[in-house]
């Protein structure tokens, strides 16, 4: 996966525990900051 | 990241934080506290590592915990005021930062070499600025 490649459908989990698709956040360009954990 | 939010939004982008665990910690960050304002962008979790795998973000090998760079990153974060909270997720997951366009195409990606390896905000803002 690199620049120009398209991500597959990715399922995440909201803070409320409900599944949410990455696409739900892609109304505009998205800066994704993937950390290890929130602690 | 909170401080950079206006510049990121001015560049036409939104921010999403993803962690490997702890929805309750994500919720607390979004809500803020008396000594800490709300983050101002959504935080989600990825316990199955779906996005980490899709972005090709690596894992911290056992020998990497002994590298000076990793501990320099920890020390730098401490000096900037960051403090370790409860460890709830996958400590072996390397982080990363990516710019994803609405059609799900990856415009830019930074895959961390080790723990705490985040790009400077100026680099991120440059990645958000369309080239002409």
Establish whether this prediction's ipTM goes over 0.95: no
Quote the pLDDT of residue B131: 62
Measured from the Cβ of residue A29, the count of other Cβ atoms closer than 10 Å reads 17
Q: Where are the domains of chain A?
A: 11-39
Say if A14 is an interface residue toward chain B (CB within 8 Å). Answer: yes
Measure A21 CA to nearest chain B CA, in Å.
10
User: Does position B101 have pLDDT exceeding 90, yes or no?
Assistant: yes
Say if A24 is an interface residue toward chain B (CB within 8 Å). Answer: no
Quote the pLDDT of residue B91: 81
Two structure tokens written together for B76: 């730098």
User: Does position B98 have pLDDT exceeding 90, yes or no?
Assistant: yes
User: Does position A12 have pLDDT exceeding 80, yes or no?
Assistant: yes
B18 exposure class (CB count in 10 Å sphere: 0-12, 13-18, 19+): buried
């Amino acid at each position: 996966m690199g620049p120009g490649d398209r991500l597959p459908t990715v399922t995440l989990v909201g803070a409320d525990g409900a599944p949410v698709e990455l696409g739900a956040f892609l109304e505009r360009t998205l800066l994704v900051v993937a950390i290890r954990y929130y602690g | 990241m909170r401080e950079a939010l206006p510049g990121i939004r001015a560049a036409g982008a939104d921010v999403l934080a993803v962690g490997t665990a702890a929805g309750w910690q994500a919720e607390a960050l979004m809500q803020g506290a008396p000594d800490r304002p709300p983050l101002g962008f959504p935080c989600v979790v990825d316990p199955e590592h779906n996005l980490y795998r899709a972005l090709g973000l690596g894992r911290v090998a056992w020998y990497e915990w002994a590298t000076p760079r990793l501990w320099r990153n920890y020390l730098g974060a401490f000096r900037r005021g960051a403090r370790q909270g409860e460890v709830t997720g996958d400590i072996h997951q390397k982080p990363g930062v990516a710019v994803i366009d609405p059609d799900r195409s990856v415009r830019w990606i930074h895959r961390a070499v080790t723990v705490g390896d985040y790009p400077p905000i100026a680099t991120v803002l440059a990645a958000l600025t369309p080239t002409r």
